[in-house]
Chains A and B, each alone.
Chain A
Amino acid sequence: KAGVTQTPRYLIKTRGQQVTLSCSPISGHRSVSWYQQTPGQGLQFLFEYFSETQRNKGNFPGRFSGRQFSNSRSEMNVSTLELGDSALYLCASSPANGVNTEAFFGQGTRLTVV
């Protein structure tokens, strides 16, 4: 079974630009979550999608948005990039309805904003 796939692996963007990150979950997994990982902050929860609906949302500004498609693939968009958005963005998928499930992580997209 293929794991969680995130593309691209690396991105360099300029302040003010926007960026879209992609995540393909493990086949059969319907829940996809996004996290921002920075040194010293650990993993900060961005949002979670289940069956194309945003089910949970973290404390990030509206510049961060996401969506999920009918095949469970998910995209995350960051508009008007700031230097502080530089981070590793992780996607995690899990099987079903969140009860007694674990999260399976992708390798992440390393975003650098210059």
Chain B
Amino acid sequence: AQSVSQHNHHVILSEAASLELGCNYSYGGTVNLFWYVQYPGQHLQLLLKYFSGDPLVKGIKGFEAEFIKSKFSFNLRKPSVQWSDTAEYFCAVTPPGNQFYFGTGTSLTVIP
């Protein structure tokens, strides 16, 4: 069965620090890759997505992610976090067929 691993369960950073959240998946075929964010009390929102093409994708709010096919990874990065980035972040993978496989999430707390 397909799985998605997020290595960091809880991350605490100070404002202006750089962020990298790891995501690895197990599926040998073509996949679509996503990062979703859930701000406190809000619904899941799409941060960025990768379908094909340039493996470095840019999303909203200064986030970016790099798809490394050989490592089955899709890590999320942001050069300088803000207090408003405090949220839960989920990596998701969809093999063809529209079923999303989500990681267990990473809770990010940014200290002002």
Given A41-B104, A48-B99, A56-B97, A102 and B43 touching (CB < 8 A)?
no
- Give bound CA distance, A21 to B36, whole Å: 23
- Give bound CA distance, A99 to B46, whole Å: 17
- Give bound CA distance, A8 to B49, whole Å: 30
Shortest distance between the CB of A86 and any CB in chain B (Å): 18
**Any B CB within 8 A of the CB of A27:** no
* Inter-chain contact B46/A56, CB cutoff 8 Å: no
Which residue numbers of A lie inside 8 Å of B, CB to CB?
3-4, 31, 33, 35, 40-45, 48, 50, 55-56, 58, 90, 92, 94, 97-108
Which residue numbers of B lie inside 8 Å of A, CB to CB?
6, 9, 32, 34, 36, 42-46, 49, 51, 90, 92, 94, 96-105
Known: A43-B92, A105-B44. 12 other contacts (CB 8 A): A33-B99, A35-B100, A35-B102, A43-B102, A45-B102, A55-B98, A97-B98, A98-B96, A99-B96, A105-B36, A107-B42, A108-B43
